[in-house]
Structure 1
Amino acid sequence: MQKIAMLLALFTLSLFCPPAMPAKAQAEEERVLRVGFDKRLPPLSYVDKNGEAAGFDIELIRSMDSLRGYQIEYVPLDWEDTVAWLTEGKLDVVVGMKYTSTRDTLFDFSDSYLTAADALVVPAAAREISAINDLRGKVVAIQRDDAGIAQLENIRGGKRLVAFSQPDALDMLFLGRADVFLGNRWTAEYVLEGTGRQQDYRIRTGLIPPSDYAFAVREGNYELVNKLNEGLARLHQNGKYEQLYSQYLETYGSFAIDWWRKLVYGLLIVMGIVVVVLAGSFFWNSRLQKAVRRQTAALADSFAFQTTVLNSVDNGILSFDREGKITLINHAAQKLLGKMEKDAQTSVWDCLPQLPIRQALQMGDGHMLEGELHLGDGTGRIVHYYLAALSNGAGQQVGGILCLQDRTEQKHLQARLIAQEKMRALGELVAGIAHEIRNPLTAIKTFAELLPKKLNDERFRRELVEHVPEEVARMDRIIEDLLDYSREKPMQRKRENLRELVQSVLGLFAKRLDSERIQVVLEPGLDVDVFVDRDRIKQVLINLLLNAIEAMAHAKDRCLTFSVLPRDGQTVCLAIADSGSGIGEQELLHLFQPFYTTKSQGIGLGLYLSQKIMHEHGGEIDVQSEPGAGTTFFLTFAKGGTGDEHLNH
């Protein structure tokens, strides 16, 4: 009876308690797969606006049938943390790791699922980087612990600026703290498109050998590597890989062929239309040329009366056709250019090859070019010219007209007056510079006299090494500024973008501006072209920027603003405002005088030379300031436009 009772008890217990699951099966059901990824590497891996893991690498993991049965936990980290956590065993898988021989000794890698080379992102205006060796001397922004750092270690003189993520590294490039970005091409395109900077920067590829991207696991975890390889193979077989590649990266796979075929057909149709239009344009232009020749002949008949009038004018006047053949010339022009027979059909190109005739013909009616040139006939004569296109009564351009004024005597007189004024100014400069040089010479003389007595004095030697080079450098600066005033340098004026010019100067002081917590504001109106000598205007901007930094040394709120004020259509006014201590009324009266300075280490030629440079450009420099209310300098430039280059000749 006792055995029967025990059997009944066991039977009842089995009804209410299910059999225990095998330990191995239970462990497999509860297996957790911790997947680490770079949380800021779009479109490969990132955290979306809902806080979920997303990206091409993440979707590959999610789509793998071979990982069913695993509870996948996605861990967003900075890239260097993902590598460290995988090394310490806190992660099971890291997605998107570049294969290197060094990392192969630490981890096991799956089969490669991407092969791509890192790209270089450079400003659109930079054309000097065409090879990896061109990074010598450049500041390269790169992600911390990126495999591409090994490429930079082989470049002499290269400097690295590391960031926690590739978008942060791109921000360093946008702020001007770096010259170039090195990193993932897809991430660079994603960030440039998101910030609207596609036109400001270029992506250079093919300069760096490609690398393989794969899944990395802890050393010896062959079971997980096999499952990952099996999942990748199935994704390729069922077409899921191509779909994800096209969705996140670029058009890929056979399903895009139809789209490309349609595009090619469309281009062929467009090319056919263009050919027809060009053929029609050719025949139409032929008819127009015949009409122009007829009108030119009719116009030549009417020049007889005009010739009599023109011969009574002191200025030289001549006209020419579109081929440059002179059709009309008065006596004054013949005297300037030498005797010419009209029957010889002398060309204006032969007489005055330095004239911008082609540009004048391209500008059309309503525009005129003017400037000065040397005749080049050995007499040293200087003429001022006015050049414009010439049209007939039907509005058709038939050539051009040129007016010449002999300004040789006027220029010689002007040169003598300038020389006299410069000699007077140089006398004032020399008188003022004597006092500036006497102070450093006195210090050097004192050290030289004490040298025999205190040669063994360590403190004396230390002060000698410290102060004498400073005084010599001070004299060198004074003399160099004086030479800059006295030397004649040819002007090299051309169109420059004002924003790019300001940013190039700010880049020289980026570290100092950041260390002194100075906020720089660039107003939108700076995107305008000006006609300047780039190096000389940079010297003006550097002088004003240094003055502004020193003026804000003790200010609570430090802000430097660059803006363009509304003016007429021919000039541009750049306003540079600081929030510094300001300038008193009496100081403003002497601000641009040579050797006037309120600085203990200043020479007093900075603003004087800045004013001289602006006057050489035909511009102005003005200032408004009040003590305690900051200072604003105004620079007025000629606006850049068609034909500016010849206005300077």
Structure 2
Amino acid sequence: MIYKLWLTVFVLCSLIFGGVQPSTAEENSESRVLIVAGDENFPPYEFTDVIDGIQVYRGFNVDLLKAVALSTGYEIQFRPMPWADALKALERGEVHAVGGMKYNAERDKIYDFSEAYMINSLAIFVRKDMQAIASINDLAGHKVAVQKDAIGYYQLKDQPIDLVLTANQEEAMALLLSGKVDAAFGNNLTGQYILQRTKKQDYIKIVGGAIDSEGYCVAVKNGATILTVFNKGLKEIRQNGTYDRIYAKWFGEQIDYPIQYYKRNLSIAMVAVIILVVLGGIIIQINLYLQREVKKRTKEIEKINEELQRKDKLEALGKLVACIAHEIRTPLTSIKTFVELLPVKYDNPLFREKISQFVPQEIERLNGIVNELLAYANPRKVEREQIPLKRLLDNSMVFFADNIAKQGINLRVDMREEISIAVDVQQMKQVMINILLNAFQALEGRDNPVLAIVSERRDGQPCMIISDNGSGITQENLKFIFEPFFSTKTGGTGLGLFVSYQLAKQNGVDIMIDSQEKIGTEVTLKFSSEENPNA
């Protein structure tokens, strides 16, 4: 599971910084390339941005569709353009899909829609001193800015409103702030994002509540079979947790929901209660099954214990089982608490919000633990290939370009071109990404953060040394960092370094960590010269 997760994140970020070559949907109809149009200025869903002098297309929809393409084995090409042009490109067959479109019955006559991947709503934005507009009915007779051909335009076009059409919602908000219109009508989250980014949120308010809450989907031409690919990918990234991570990146924790959300999820909440009861029975059966398997597979257990370098194999087994039981019991306790409170607090909106938020999270956490344990118990065969050590680092560092820029990290790299290694490239990428991720997390909040990466030979063996001046690790914790389920991070499973250590051993690589609390950490990867004829 961890292997798939890190590989997913790595390829996503490679795609983010990769070039997009123009082509048509027809030209790619026989290949595994998806051409997707999107709004060039619709933050935080999709927008063009400049990072380190390079123009990139980014946003929630962009990350989401890259994850979908990766999950289904497709490549993806984005074509950012004005929204009206994106709709025309889809109608002409120049693209396979429009990445994010709000569903409504009128559009359903023209397009086919994927399963909704979020609930989207419209909002009325007015200046803080505006008292005459409190609902959508109050817009009559007023001058209102709205994006051309967006869903908000179709909501208002037949009403007695003086509409001012704009190319995008940012232009609409600018007209409102300058006093040229009385209100702006558009996507709720996009409007809030624009105001926060421009630091104008103190001058604008939202009135009328959430309007026309409806599913937000991928749109394709009527009858397009490629829709099944998008639905399959969306389902998979929800199941493996990728969707939640992308949502949290762009929107953070959800703090409010429209009333329609609660109505639609009322039945889901009831189903969740039934699922929890069934899940409890399944967990009991799993525990009984594990007990039987422990007795039947003594030899396999002894091999796992040897890899974990336990001195006492029986003691190690007991510790591992205890850790598994503890990790499973923690989310079960949370789920049990919600279920017991359900009859008492069901009418409490805040409680319904919490149960719809935390119960699925805890279930996903259980699923993640089981998948990670299965991935470790059934590792794939190591397939070594020769690769320059510098190239392996470059491929892994692509994932962290955004972190380097945002954290203001002083990156120092000195990699020797001639040093090559023979390893399973995908497995070692997973190891390196995990180590680098820990380094970037240790540097968060540090003054003058520095990350240094060098290569050298020690005793004839290729080595890579990764050092930082981050928060460091206490000597007490340093003894347990490769232990399963040991983590000092909030929400961590404690399996990242454990699995990375096992993968490194399979590739003949030693991992050595030297760290001092509040000073920094140095990680050395020492590659076996026997497996590397060029060393």
TM-score norm. by structure 1 comes to 0.36
Q: Relative contact order (C-alpha < 8 Å, sep 6+): which is higher?
A: 2
**TM-score computed with the length of structure 2 as normaliser:** 0.43
Question: Which structure's CA Rg is the greater one?
Answer: 1
